[in-house]
Amino acid sequence: MISRKKELLTLMNIDTSWLKTKNNTNYDLQSFSQLQLEANNCQKCQLANGRNNVVFGEGNEKADILIIGEAPGKEEDLIGEPFIGRAGKLLTEILFSINLSRNDVYITNTVKCRPPENRNPNSTEISSCAHFLDKQISLISPKVIILLGKIAAERILNTSEPMAKLRSNIHYYKETNIPTLVFYHPAYLLRSPSEKKKVWDDILFMRENINVC
């Protein structure tokens, strides 16, 4: 439909750069890099003082699956990419097991800068970063959001329910109809290997309920 419209407009010598492609517009893609630039220069909270890099996010900006973790760790801060340390390797393996590569999804964090000693981000840091995450969600417009761990779940679902209650349920992000699932954080699975099996239950739940993989 869109390409027919584009064809006709092009025949009429009318600029088509504003036309929508899938969920995203060219304008949106521009907004995405503008947002990243804004994040790179952000000084809104104290995490800006200790960072080597802002870890904005990585992957396919038109992905159906958006994965949100907690905060960058040491390796992520040094390189500027999310989930590249031990927890990241496990996340990559989990994706691989369902035939997805990191380029098939978009991966980001609740906060974009590393908290000192990998402590949990505090509420000021989370709210200083909220605008970046909300804008990323609206630009990507995913078919499903996966929240890794409690920090991401609390921020996105505005809840303090325990993980055990949040998993295996379909939630919705704010007033959108984007289904949102909560999975155990891969760092937790590394600390408690006996819980690893539960990630397969989470994936099974996603496969049974949402048509994305």
- Interacting residue ranges for ligand URA, rule: CB under 6 A: 69-73, 76, 82-83, 85, 87-88, 109, 187
- Taking alpha carbons only, the member of 108, 130, 23 closest to residue 59 is 108
User: Which residue number, 28 or 148, has a Cβ lying nearer to ligand URA?
Assistant: 148
Smallest separation (angstroms) from ligand URA to the CB of 9: 42
Q: Given the complex with ligand URA, which of 23 and 80 has the nearer CB atom?
A: 80
Q: How far is the CB of 63 from ligand URA (least distance, A)?
A: 16
Of 32 and 83, which CB lies nearer to ligand URA in the complex structure? 83
Q: How far is the CB of 185 from ligand URA (least distance, A)?
A: 6
Q: How far is the CB of 2 from ligand URA (least distance, A)?
A: 35
When the beta carbons of 139 and 153 are compared against ligand URA, the nearer one is: 153
Shortest-Cβ-distance residue relative to ligand URA: 69
